[in-house]
Amino acid sequence: MTQAVWVALLGIALTLVVAVWAERVAFGRQNEGFERQADGVQSAVEGRFDTYVALLRATVGLFAASDEVTPVEFQNFIASLDLIERYPGVQGIGYAAWLDSPGARAEVRRDLPVGTRLWPDTASGESAIVFLQPLDRRNLAALGYDMYSEPIRREAMRRARTLDVPASTSAVTLVQEMDTDRQPGFLVYLPLSRADGVFQGWIYAPFRARDFFDRVFAAEVGPEPRNVTVREGGADGTVLWPARPVSPAGAGFSTVREVSFGGQTWRLEMSAPRGLGQSGVPIAILMIGLFLTALLSLAWHWQDRLLEAAQRARTRSDLLLKEVNHRAANSLQLVASFVYLQAQAVTDPKARAALVATRARILAVSRVHQRLYTDDSVDGVELKAYIETLTEGLADAFEAGGRRLEVEAVEVRTDTDRAISVGVVLVELVSNAAKYAYPPDHPGDIRVRLRREDQTLWLEVEDDGAGFDPATKAKGSGLGMKVVHAMVTKLAGELLVEPLSPGVRVSVVFSIAG
């Protein structure tokens, strides 16, 4: 044999070795990625269940904080949670009363809307749905229903009461299924007792299974291609999602995860095809046939692998940061809701005003975290969008009292800590202007501006009211201006008060970066 033949044979042998190795490495990497995606699906489902149990516990807290929850109070509380926008996938949150006496039946009939009856129409009914929000067409049809009369629901209700734990039903058809497009559903119950320990009923949430998992996979897992089938119980259990189960036949990868919740087990069957690139890599290497070219291809392969690993690490860190801000925003929203409940419960006007102001400060911080997990960038906050979002909530309250809030802001990005300080200052200055600039029941404008001069920002709040003398004692408790001075100090900025004719302009001057 000539030297050229030996070189060719050696090149072919090395090419085959490299091709087999590349195939196995690619298969292993894809399998690891698939397993990570499966873990993410399982975590998303478990996390969403935990979130909804937290909402049910918050609703139990509403009943604990009030001597008697009225339909309007229940409606306002659920509305403050922003259930549909912030927690999609749930049909609603409701209260089912335990009918252990004629007096309990009378109280239920009093709280139900006019024309709503207790059903099924039996004298031995033991429970009734009294509240269910949001009160849309489907939920309205469920009011008055005795869930205890149905065996599957009764078993979960008994378990929740006996064990004092969240309890889920197996698959049922909700009474809200009024249309031809019917879905399997399930319900989650928490027991509710009065302060004296007497059992009162259940706080519960109904779920349409397909709607629930549609939202979980769309909002939490993301758009990566995968095949997922959700079943109740074992491999032959009722399919909850999708409408037509996915067959894993011919899939390159498949796995099963189980999620236990409320006494029920949900089976997540996941599969994914092998990428077409695994067959292309060895064919390409064989066609090239040159040892030197194979080494070059291998070098590119490793380079790509390192770049992909770096990209995955960055993507994961961004996702984790967004998740932290998402959970922080949710937690602050719940805290704000509890402060709102406490404000409604106290009778002292000064204490109530202090709690309302505290809630506004909490919401100002919550808006920053909300911007961070909804924005494409996680390295700061766009102040214009943040100020506009923050003032929308303030405008709803002040414009109802005759105050018109105008906003003009430049687009500029700053770090999270500075954004929080700006938000708190803005809430305090606008609140002070709304309360003290104009006489009661007298309309007037409040103008908010954010302007930029080189690397300096000017946050201005001005009005056409009675004006403000810094030398005089502050109206109210003075806590608001103490908060403003503290935040201005944190910004390393300057607070300026400029009298107008009429009115006053309060400016906070600070640099874009600390």
Tokens (6 digits) for 436: 């003290």
| pLDDT tens digits for range 311-353 | 665 555 455 445 544 555 566 666 757 666 766 777 777 676 6
Mean pLDDT of the region 353-375: 62
Band the pLDDT of 434: cuts 50, 70, 90: confident
Question: What per-residue confidence (pLDDT) applies to 223?
Answer: 46
Those residues whose C-beta lies under 8 Å from the C-beta of residue 365, and which sit 6 or more positions away, are 332, 420, 423, 424
Question: In the chain, how many H helices and how many E strands?
Answer: 13, 16
Dist CA 108 CA 106 (whole Å): 5
Q: Which pLDDT value is given to residue 321?
A: 46
Amino acid (1-letter code) at residue 53: V
Over range 400-424, report the average pLDDT: 83
Is 464 within 8 Å of 447 (Cβ atoms)? Answer: no
Parallel, antiparallel or unpaired: strands 444-453 and 239-241: unpaired
pLDDT of residue 2 exceeding 90, the answer is: no
313 compared with 113, residue with greater pLDDT:
113
pLDDT band at 361 (very low <50, low <70, confident <90, very high): low
Taking only the tens place, the pLDDT of each residue in 126-168 is 999 999 999 999 999 999 999 999 999 999 999 999 999 999 9
> How many C-alpha atoms does 104 have within 13 Å on its Cβ side?
17
More confident residue, 358 or 250: 358
CA distance 327 to 340: 20
The CATH fold assigned to 380-511 is Heat Shock Protein 90 (3.30.565)
CA-wise closest residue to 269 among 285, 258, 281: 258
Q: How far apart are the first and last CA of the chain?
A: 75
3.40.50.720, 3.30.450.350, 2.60.120.10, 3.60.70.12: CATH of 11-289: 3.30.450.350
Residue 333 CB neighbour total at 10 angstroms? 19
Mean of all residue pLDDT scores within the chain: 81
Taking the domains of the chain in order of start, what are their residue ranges? 11-289, 380-511
pLDDT, tens digit (0-9, with 9 covering 90-100), for 153-207: 999 999 999 999 999 999 999 998 988 888 999 999 999 999 889 999 999 999 9
pLDDT in tens, 54-90: 999 999 999 999 888 999 999 999 999 988 888 888 9
